[in-house]
Structure 1
């Protein structure tokens, strides 16, 4: 399974597009659709990096997304609907496979992907640097809505 259009759009909407490097809310140099490193080199973004074109960003997003899709496929043991997969890929794109792997969210998905309490697990992941961020709260709610759509 690959990320569908709804999942891709959710990621793009919440990450936003930045052609120049910026510091994310916890001070990590970031560019494009929330990239902290470049593909395929895996070189970290620095504040002195050159402008990224939208075409370069779209290509990088497709390459990077494969890593997070693989994480979801590897960690989830139950069959998922497209929207469920998309929501989990967005979550993993934002938080990483290691956070998904140790989450109660994953445990509940692997027990019963239709468990309504999964919605509560998404919204628990709304902090960065120990602080609740409204943008992360909105993203987790949107992921939960997509998951159950």
Structure 2
């Protein structure tokens, strides 16, 4: 069964082709109508003065896409997600099957280099020998669709099992929680002592030493419990 562009791809093509119900010349002088329909896509022939309805524009786009969908499906030998397929159809629709089939993009993709596609798309930003902002933006949009996560409808991937917590990670969590609790207690006690200027420096040092000792015991207990929870005790 022929593969078709998904809704995300159809929306992208409509956005960047634009809908014109009266024939016009594109940036390189080719008569165009609807969503980028030209004579190269097949009937109806486009000439000055031609007008169509919205429904005709939609029907022409879907009919036009069929040959580009077929071209991409036949040319690409590696697996593609629905969004990746749609991005390539948009690209092929814009530059033509000949340019797509002879592109470095296709060669790299079929060699298994999926990561090269966005960069190769970006190179196709010229018309008539000059860079066009519209084409640069379209290539960026196609690269964005290419990178967007979406599995092929028939593909099923078993979710990876969540890694079990290790004694180290569990210990870190327990130590952080304990440290935060004890630290807050120390800060509160220090605030209570500070107003009493008559407390000697020796008493203050003794208090700090006892507090540190208490922290050490608390941390030791937390680490031991974490190891027991992880089954490493």
Q: Is the TM value for this pair above 0.5? A: yes
Instruction: Indicate yes or no: 2:48 matched with 1:47.
Output: yes
Deviations 1:36-63 (A, max 9, x none): 1397x634311132x2111001111111
Q: Give the helix-richer structure, 1 or 2.
A: 2
Q: CA deviation at 1:113?
A: 5.1
Q: Distance in 2 between matches of 1:38 and 1:128?
A: 17
Q: CA deviation at 1:119?
A: 1.1
Instruction: Indicate yes or no: 2:1 matched with 1:2.
Output: no
Instruction: Indicate yes or no: 2:66 matched with 1:66.
Output: yes
- Match of residue 100 from structure 1: 100
Deviations 1:59-106 (A, max 9, x none): 111111001000001110111110110000000010111101110110
Task: Verify the 8 A CA contact 2:22 2:52 in the aligned structure 1.
Answer: yes
5+ unaligned residues in a row in structure 2: which ranges? 149-233
- Match of residue 76 from structure 1: 76
5+ unaligned residues in a row in structure 1: which ranges? none
- Match of residue 141 from structure 1: 140
Secondary structure at the aligned position of 1:117 is classed as helix
Q: Distance in 2 between matches of 1:37 and 1:7?
A: 22
Q: TM-score, normalised by structure 1?
A: 0.93
Q: TM-score, normalised by structure 2?
A: 0.60
Cα separation, partners in 2 of 1:113 and 1:8, compared to 1, 3 Å: farther
Runs of 4+ deviating beyond 4 Å? none
Task: Verify the 8 A CA contact 1:91 1:143 in the aligned structure 2.
Answer: yes
- Match of residue 31 from structure 1: 33
Task: Verify the 8 A CA contact 1:21 1:31 in the aligned structure 2.
Answer: yes
RMSD: 1.5
Deviations 1:6-45 (A, max 9, x none): 0000000000010001110011111110111397x63431
Q: Distance in 1 between matches of 2:138 and 2:88?
A: 12
- Match of residue 21 from structure 2: 19
